C-alpha cells in the first residue's frame, strides 16, 4: 500500500496488531463483517442441528434439552451476532464514505465497540461446554423459565447480553455523531443517501431500547442471585411484566434489523434500474413513521397473555398501521424499477428477491396482527415462517446484496458474476423450500420449539429440512466467492456500476485507506 | 481549519453527552416500567390482580339483596410445592356488599418446616377490582412445621359496583414454596 498517494498519509500498520489497535473505519467495518459471517455460520450450524432433528418425527440425534439449547443459541447468535454486527460493519464501511467524512466521529470507541463483541460471543458459546448446558429457554428468555428454572449458565448469558448491548450502544452513538457532525459541507439531511438515513434512525432506536434490554437482564440477574422478585409471583412480582419489558425492547429490535436493509435496497434498486429512487422524501418519512410506531405495538407479541379487549384492539390496529409506511416503501421500490433499464447483476437479484419475499413476510405479519386469529397462530410454525421470511430473505438477503454491491469498492476486484448468480439462485430456492412449508405446518397446528412432532407434520418437515441444507451449504459458496474476490479478479473501476450515484463511487477502487481527508464538494 | 476542527470536537462532545444521558435514562426507564406496570394493573384490574386489604365499613356494608353472585374458589400448588392445599367450600352464593368468610385447608406432609406464600388472582379480570378482601392468608406467609395442618380464613365482600354482566367470580390461589427465600432467617414463628 506504499504508493505515492499514501506516502504522506499513513497506510495500515503491518502485522496482526493492525487489527487490534486500528481506529480506521474501513478496518473496523471489515472486522465486523467477517465476525458477523463467522457468527452466521455458527448460528447456521445450530439451525442445521435443529433441522436434522426435525427431518423425521421421533428423536434421532439430540435429546430435547439440547434441542432447546440449539433453538436458543441459534436465535441469539443470529440476532445479536450475525444480523446486527453485519449492519454495523456496513455502516462503518459506508457511512463515512457516503457523507464525505474522513472517518467515524469517535474512532477509538469504534475499536472498542467491535473488540468487546468476540468476548461476548465466546462467553455465550462457552456455555455449550458447561455441565448445566447452554441457555435452553428460547431467545426471548421468558421469566420464570429463564430465572427460577434456568440452567446455571444463565449468568454467562446475562453478562454476554450486557456486553453485546454495550457494543451496540457505543456503535450507535458513534454512528449518530458521525452522521450529525461529520457530513461534508453541502450534504444536507435531505441529500443524504437512504442507507445513511435508515442507519441514523436505527441508531436512535438502538440508543432507546438496548438499555431497556440491559435493564431486563439485570432484573433477571437480581431475581436469580440477589433474592428480588421482579418476575416471581411468589414474592409479589409478575412473570407477564417480563414480557412487557422484553417486548418493549424486542419490537423496536425487529425494526433495527430491517431498517438498514431498507436503506441498502434503496441504494441498489436505483443503480440497476438506472433511475433515481422514486419518492425519496416519502422514504425518509416512512422510515421515521415505522420507527415511531415500533414503540407502541409491543404487546402484539402477547395477545394470548390475557389482555383486556381494549388492549388487544389498540395493539392490533397500531400494528396494522405499520403496513401503511411499509407499503409506501414497497411501492416506491417497484415504481423505481418501473420503466427503468434494469439489469440483473447479483446485488439486484438479491434486492428484488428482498422486495418480493419481505412483502410475503409482511403479509403473514399482518395476518398475525389480527388478534382473534393470533390465538390460533400463536407459538406455531406460522410465526416461525413469518419472522424467518422477514429476517432471512429480508435482512440477510439485503446484507448479501450489499456485500456483492460494495465488494468491488472494498477489494478493488470484481466478484465472479456467474458464481454470484449461482449463489443467489441456490439461496433463493433453498430459502423458499425451507420456510414456505412452515406456513402450512403452523396453520395445521405444529407448535414451535419442539424436537418431536405428530406424524401428520412429517412430509412438510422433511421438505423444509432439505431446503435448510441447500440454503446452509450454499453459504459456503458465498464464502468462496468473497475470498476469491479478495485474492484477485478483474479490476474494478472507480464507478464499478454503470448507474451508480453517490460519493462512495467517486473514490478509487479499492477505496484508499483514508478517504475524504479534505471534504468533497457536494453538488 | 483548526478553529473549525475545534468547534467540531466540542459539538461532538455535547452530542455524545446527550446520547449518553439518553442511554442512562432509558436504562432507568426499564426499571420504572416495574412500578408503572403495577399501578397500571391496579387501576385497570388487569392480570386479575386484586388489591390489598380493604376495610369493611358501614358505607360498603349496604347489602344489595336483589343480586346474587356466585364466588368460586380454586387452589393449586406451584411446581415443587408439597402441601395439600384446597378450599373447604368450592363455591358460595353471595349478595354484593355482604361480608363472607370461607376457609382454606393446608397440610404440610413433609418432614421439614416449609414456608408457603399464596398469590391470589380473580377472573374474569373485569371483576378483579370488585372482590375486596378484608382478611386473607395471602397477606402473610404461612409457616407449617412437619406434619402440621391449618385452616386459613379469607373474609371478603363483593362490591356493589360489580358490572351487571358478571354473575360468577373465581378466586384462585397459587401456593408457592418460599422456604428458600427465608432460609437463614432467625427464629421463624408460626402466626
Quote the pLDDT of residue A242.
95
The pLDDT tens digits of the residues spanning A105-144 come to 999 999 999 999 999 999 999 999 999 999 999 999 999 8
Boundaries of every domain in chain B: 1-44, 48-180
A17/A32 Cα distance (integer angstroms): 16
The answer to the question of residue A363 being in a domain is yes
The answer to the question of residue A53 being in a domain is yes
State whether B117 and A211 contact (CB < 8 Å): no
Where residue A4 falls among pLDDT bands split at 50, 70, 90? Answer: very low
Is A53 considered catalytic here? no
B143/B191 Cα distance (integer angstroms): 7
A482/A136 Cα distance (integer angstroms): 34
CB A425 within 8 A of CB A350: no
Residue A154 touches chain B, beta carbons under 8 Å: no
The answer to the question of residue A511 being in a domain is no
The answer to the question of residue A426 being in a domain is yes
CB A433 within 8 A of CB A400: no
CATH code for the domain of A140: 1.20.210.10
- d(CA B62, nearest CA chain A) in Å: 30
Quote the pLDDT of residue A2.
42
The pLDDT tens digits of the residues spanning A161-219 come to 999 999 999 999 999 999 999 999 999 999 999 999 999 999 999 999 999 999 999 99
Question: In chain A, whose CA is at the least distance from the CA of B176?
Answer: A234
pLDDT at residue A10 greater than cutoff 70:
no
State whether B47 and A208 contact (CB < 8 Å): no
The answer to the question of residue A394 being in a domain is yes
The pLDDT tens digits of the residues spanning A372-398 come to 999 999 999 999 999 999 999 999 999
Domain that holds residue A449: 26-505
The answer to the question of residue A19 being in a domain is no
User: Which DSSP helix (H) or strand (E) runs through B69?
Assistant: strand B69-77
Angle at A249 between CA A48 and CA B44, to 5 degrees: 125
Q: Which of A253, A267, A312, A504 is catalytic?
A: A253
Mean pLDDT, chain A, whole residue set: 94
Residue A208 touches chain B, beta carbons under 8 Å: yes
pLDDT at residue A5 greater than cutoff 60:
no
Distances from the Cα of B174 to the Cαs of A287, A520, B120, in angstroms? 46, 68, 7
State whether A212 and B29 contact (CB < 8 Å): yes
Angle at A403 between CA A32 and CA A210, to 5 degrees: 40
Best mutation target, A211, A243, A304, A310, to test chain B (most B CBs within 10 A)? A211
Quote the pLDDT of residue B6.
58
DSSP SS3 for A417:
helix
CB A372 within 8 A of CB A308: no
The answer to the question of residue A305 being in a domain is yes
The answer to the question of residue A285 being in a domain is yes
Low-confidence ranges of chain B (pLDDT < 70): 1-8, 44-52, 57-61, 183-191
Closest alpha carbon to A261 in A200, A195, A322 = A195
Is A139 considered catalytic here? yes
B116/B3 Cα distance (integer angstroms): 70
In A, residues 211-240, which contact B (CB 8 Å cutoff)?
Answer: 211-216, 219, 227, 230, 232-236, 238, 240
CB B85 within 8 A of CB B126: no
Number of folded domains in chain A? 1
The CATH number that domain B48-180 falls under is 2.60.370.10
Of residues B16, B24, B31, nearest to A177 (C-beta): B16
Is A30 considered catalytic here? no
A273/A344 Cα distance (integer angstroms): 9
Bridge partners, residue B118, by sequence: B175
Interface of chain B against chain A, CB under 8 Å? Answer: 8, 11-12, 15-16, 19-20, 22-31, 33-34, 37-38, 41, 44, 46-49, 78, 117, 119, 125-126, 174, 176-178, 181
Written as one string, the DSSP assignment of A276-298 is PPTTHHHHHHHHHHHHHHGGG-G
Amino acid at each position: 500500500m506504499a504508493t505515492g498517494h499514501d506516502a504522506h498519509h499513513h497506510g495500515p500498520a503491518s502485522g496482526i496488531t493492525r487489527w487490534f489497535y486500528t481506529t480506521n473505519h474501513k478496518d473496523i467495518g471489515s472486522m465486523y463483517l467477517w465476525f458477523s459471517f463467522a457468527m452466521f455460520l455458527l448460528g447456521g450450524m445450530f439451525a442445521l442441528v435443529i433441522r436434522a432433528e426435525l427431518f423425521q418425527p421421533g428423536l434421532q440425534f439430540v435429546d430435547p434439552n439440547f434441542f432447546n439449547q440449539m433453538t436458543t443459541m441459534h436465535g441469539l447468535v443470529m440476532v445479536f451476532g450475525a444480523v446486527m454486527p453485519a449492519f454495523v460493519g456496513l455502516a462503518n464501511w459506508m457511512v463515512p464514505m457516503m457523507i464525505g467524512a474522513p472517518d467515524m466521529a469517535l474512532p477509538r470507541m469504534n475499536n472498542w465497540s467491535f473488540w468487546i463483541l468476540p468476548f461476548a460471543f465466546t462467553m455465550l458459546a462457552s456455555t455449550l461446554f458447561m455441565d448445566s448446558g447452554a441457555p435452553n429457554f428460547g431467545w426471548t428468555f421468558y421469566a420464570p423459565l429463564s430465572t427460577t428454572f434456568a440452567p446455571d449458565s444463565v449468568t454467562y448469558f446475562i453478562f454476554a447480553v450486557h456486553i453485546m448491548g454495550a457494543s451496540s450502544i457505543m456503535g450507535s452513538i458513534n454512528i449518530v455523531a458521525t452522521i450529525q457532525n461529520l457530513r461534508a459541507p453541502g450534504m444536507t439531511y435531505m441529500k443524504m443517501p437512504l442507507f445513511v438515513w435508515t442507519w441514523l434512525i436505527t441508531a436512535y432506536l438502538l440508543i432507546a431500547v438496548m438499555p431497556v434490554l440491559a435493564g431486563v437482564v439485570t432484573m433477571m440477574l437480581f431475581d436469580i442471585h440477589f433474592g428480588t422478585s421482579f418476575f416471581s409471583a411468589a414474592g409479589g412480582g409478575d412473570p407477564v411484566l417480563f414480557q412487557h419489558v422484553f417486548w418493549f425492547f424486542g419490537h423496536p429490535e425487529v425494526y433495527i434489523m430491517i431498517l438498514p436493509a431498507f436503506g441498502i435496497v434503496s441504494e441498489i434498486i436505483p443503480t440497476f434500474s438506472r433511475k433515481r429512487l422514486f419518492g425519496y422524501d416519502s422514504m425518509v418519512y416512512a422510515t421515521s413513521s415505522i420507527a415511531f410506531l415500533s414503540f407502541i405495538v409491543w404487546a402484539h407479541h402477547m395477545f394470548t397473555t390475557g389482555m383486556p379487549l381494549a388492549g388487544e384492539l389498540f395493539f392490533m390496529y397500531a400494528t396494522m398501521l405499520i403496513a401503511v409506511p411499509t407499503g409506501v416503501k414497497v411501492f416506491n421500490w417497484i415504481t423505481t424499477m418501473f420503466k427503468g433499464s434494469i439489469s440483473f447483476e447479483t446485488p439486484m437479484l438479491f434486492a428484488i428477491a428482498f422486495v418480493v419475499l419481505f412483502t410475503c413476510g409482511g403479509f403473514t405479519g399482518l395476518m398475525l396482527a389480527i388478534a382473534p386469529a393470533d390465538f390460533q397462530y400463536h407459538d406455531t410454525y406460522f410465526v416461525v415462517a413469518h419472522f424467518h421470511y422477514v429476517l432471512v430473505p429480508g435482512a440477510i438477503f439485503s446484507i448479501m446484496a450489499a456485500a456483492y454491491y460494495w465488494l468491488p469498492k472494498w477489494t478493488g476486484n470484481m466478484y465472479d458474476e456467474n458464481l454470484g448468480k449461482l449463489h443467489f439462485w441456490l439461496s433463493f430456492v433453498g430459502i423458499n423450500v425451507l420456510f414456505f412449508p412452515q406456513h402450512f405446518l403452523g396453520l395445521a397446528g405444529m407448535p414451535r420449539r419442539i424436537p418431536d412432532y405428530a406424524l401428520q407434520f412429517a412430509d412438510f418437515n422433511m421438505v423444509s429440512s432439505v431446503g435448510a441444507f441447500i440454503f446452509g451449504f450454499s453459504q459456503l459458496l458465498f464464502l468462496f466467492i468473497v475470498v476469491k474476490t479478495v485474492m484477485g479478479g478483474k479490476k474494478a473501476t472507480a464507478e464499478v456500476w454503470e448507474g451508480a450515484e453517490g460519493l462512495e463511487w467517486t473514490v478509487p477502487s479499492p477505496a484508499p485507506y483514508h478517504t475524504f481527508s479534505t471534504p468533497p464538494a457536494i453538488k | 481549519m483548526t478553529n473549525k476542527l475545534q468547534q467540531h470536537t466540542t459539538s461532538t462532545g455535547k452530542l455524545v453527552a446527550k446520547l449518553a444521558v439518553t442511554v442512562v435514562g432509558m436504562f432507568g426507564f426499564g426499571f420504572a416500567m416495574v412500578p408503572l406496570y403495577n399501578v397500571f394493573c391496579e387501576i385497570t384490574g388487569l392480570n386479575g390482580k386484586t388489591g390489598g386489604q380493604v376495610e369493611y365499613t358501614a358505607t360498603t356494608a349496604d347489602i344489595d339483596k336483589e343480586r346474587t353472585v356466585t364466588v368460586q374458589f380454586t387452589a393449586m400448588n406451584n411446581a415443587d410445592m408439597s402441601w395439600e392445599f384446597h378450599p373447604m367450600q368450592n363455591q358460595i352464593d353471595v349478595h354484593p356488599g355482604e361480608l363472607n368468610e370461607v376457609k382454606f385447608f393446608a397440610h404440610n406432609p413433609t418432614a421439614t418446616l416449609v414456608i408457603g406464600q399464596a398469590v391470589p388472582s380473580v377472573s374474569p379480570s373485569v371483576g378483579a377490582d370488585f372482590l375486596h378482601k378484608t382478611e386473607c392468608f395471602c397477606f402473610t406467609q404461612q409457616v407449617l412445621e412437619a406434619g402440621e395442618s391449618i385452616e386459613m380464613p379469607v373474609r371478603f365482600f363483593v362490591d356493589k359496583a360489580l358490572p351487571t354482566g358478571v354473575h360468577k367470580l373465581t378466586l384462585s390461589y397459587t401456593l408457592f414454596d418460599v422456604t428458600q427465600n427465608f432460609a437463614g432467617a432467625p427464629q421463624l414463628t408460626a402466626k
